[in-house]
Amino acid sequence: MRRKKSLWTGLSVMALVGSTALGLPSASAASTAASADKVEYSAGLIHALQHDLGLTERQARVRLKREKAAAELAPKAEKAAGGAFGGSWFDPGTGRLVVGVTSAARAAKVRDAGAGAVIVAHSAKELAATQAVLDARARAHKAPAGVAGWHVDPRSSTVVVDVVKGEERTAPVREFIAAADKAGPVTVESKATAAPRTFAAGTVGGDPYYTGNVRCSIGFSVYGGFVTAGHCGSPWQAVYGWDRSYMGNFQGSSFPGNDYAWVNVGSGWWTVPVVLGWGTVPDALVRGSWEAPIGSSICRSGSTSHWHCGQVQSKNDTVNYAQGAVYEMTGTSVCAEGGDSGGSFITGDQAQGVTSGGYGNCSSGGRTWFQPINEILRVYGLRLHTA
């Protein structure tokens, strides 16, 4: 998304104004993508998958094909599970979608639909009700800083509460865990090495967008502008591009509670359906927004740390930021750094969401959450630009 004076160089237009992705026309938020057999993925995305997940080029391409098939099968498999549905995930070992079910009879129907099935103790509805109790508590009384967040884990059929390492025995955390235990099936882990934080940053050089003294990254192009993280700006706040020229204004923004926003663009700026390749690899085309299952590979592009990949680890997470809790986020093993906020998360050629925050960095590793793209499109009535 550069200014009109910029030149096209084929489909790889080195044109994004931020750290990330942009898109072109699509008739629906989750437009049907072309067959995985016929899709040519960005060399940069394939290379990042090879580097971060330890795959060969062929393994990366096969995995993307299987993940796309799993994403397309997921709605049908959930319908087959009915009220016994306990969640679903992609199994990298078998390359198949797996569905947790509470009924053997329903497990057979799921298998008939084409997915794998395992018996779990609790339905997705039960687990969501347990998480809702914790969310309500966080809204009424802010969760302690020693609690990084909580999410439903369909594989263990519990709600997992992640406690920051070293904070397990503090009184506020122990009180929170005691209350959580009464809410339903809950397990506690201590994977977080620090409290989650958003990934906005002070202004430095690069190819970002700016709001005041904050630098963030573009997420994905929509008709009329782009989507990004809510913590990057407030409604009507002016936005400036990589060259400090005026781009537009925040038209909507929500944070905390959510972490999404959208910015209109004009003044000679235009949108393109790609995720930035950073001058060394081709830009990655965006063709839709099928939601990737848990266990799928996923990559992120940002104005600070550029391309990095990992796996989708959890969904519908509650993330406990210092500014307040944010709900219904997706957790990943991908790293990020300051200035990457708002940037794009993509699986294959399918938009997934915009970078929110996390902990760690891209030298030592960490965990990052994103705000799902389809919710942003739905809330603001936007259409994703696709190739």
Q: Is 259 a catalytic residue?
A: yes
Domains parsed from the chain with CATH numbers: 1-387 (2.40.10.120)
Positions of the chain with pLDDT lower than 50, given as ranges: 1-36, 202-206, 280
Tokens of 252: 């909507």
Q: Which residues contact 64 (CB under 8 A, 6 or more apart)?
A: 36, 41, 49, 297, 347, 348
pLDDT score for 279: 54
Catalytic residue among 162, 259, 317, 349: 259
pLDDT score for 208: 83
Q: What angle do CA 147, 150, 154 make, to 5 degrees?
A: 150
Tell me the one-letter amino acid at 33: A
Longest dimension (CA), the chain: 62
Contact predicate 45/297, CB 8 Å: no
Q: Is 303 a catalytic residue?
A: no
Catalytic residue among 333, 341, 344, 356: 341
Catalytic residue among 122, 231, 306, 385: 231
Q: Tell me the per-residue pLDDT of 3-36, one tens digit each, with 9 for 90 and over.
A: 332 212 122 222 323 333 333 233 333 444 444 4
Q: Is 231 a catalytic residue?
A: yes
Tell me the one-letter amino acid at 219: G
The neighbouring-strand residues paired with 324 are 321
pLDDT score for 189: 95
Q: What is the pTM of this model?
A: 0.85
